[in-house]
Chain A
């Protein structure tokens, strides 16, 4: 029983190690800026589907800010706006 557990863990570690080795190349990614800060949009309205839609990918989930680069303040506002827009069917909850 003990050995089996050890084996399982060992396998997991090995796989993780391989992944790290592969991703050693240095990426040069441009720092993403918050769209709302740059364009000086003060209020994010739930009525404005054009503003919201870039932050709703195919699946219908809200895009995380580590991908979109939106700052924390605006991500919070964006979140409430999207959730309100969903309630009145301007934006989907899910799409498959």
Chain B
């Protein structure tokens, strides 16, 4: 197993945080990542969002998501640093590579099953555009019909 793992870091800063403070915070995160020979894949600022509950008497927060590749030791250091900083109200580090791999496998398996089934029936392996639409319409009709029938029966 490779030492490099994929992590997602989400942190929340108070809503009145300035651009410079955010840039500085990002720089701090980047420096920690660099020291452990990791890399930041991408940064997604979600902007201001309403919090589901108040943190430090704040109803809103500034969310930032960072996707990081690096070794496991990186997370402990990052976690420690972020906990000390006052600008960060809340943060979360989650390992995602395993979940993504599982999802990828499931997708591949489903696709392979579809292809083999279609080949067995003597159809081309990929469903055509018209086929997809027709199947969707059929489902809708049956759903509506059944439900109407039940409802009618109950009223009487």
Contact = CB atoms under 8 A, between A and B. Distances in A.
Given A89-B61, A93-B53, A43 B92 contact: no
Contact of B99 (A28, A43, A88, A90): A43
Contacts, number: 39
Contacts of A92: 52-53
Contact of B103 (A42, A86, A90, A93): A42
A84 interface: yes
Interface residues of A, number: 15
B52 A86 contact: yes
Contacts of B63: 88
Given A28-B150, A47-B65, A84 B94 contact: yes
Interface of chain B: mostly helix, strand, loop or mixed:
strand
A55 interface: no
Interface string B93-114: 0100001101110110010000
B106 A42 contact: yes
Nearest to A77: B99
B106 A89 contact: no
Contacts of A40: 110
Interface string B74-107: 0000000000000000111010000110111011
Interface of A: 28, 40, 42-43, 46-47, 84, 86-93
A-B pairs, 8 with minimum CB distance: A42-B103, A43-B103, A89-B51, A92-B52, A42-B106, A89-B52, A88-B92, A88-B10
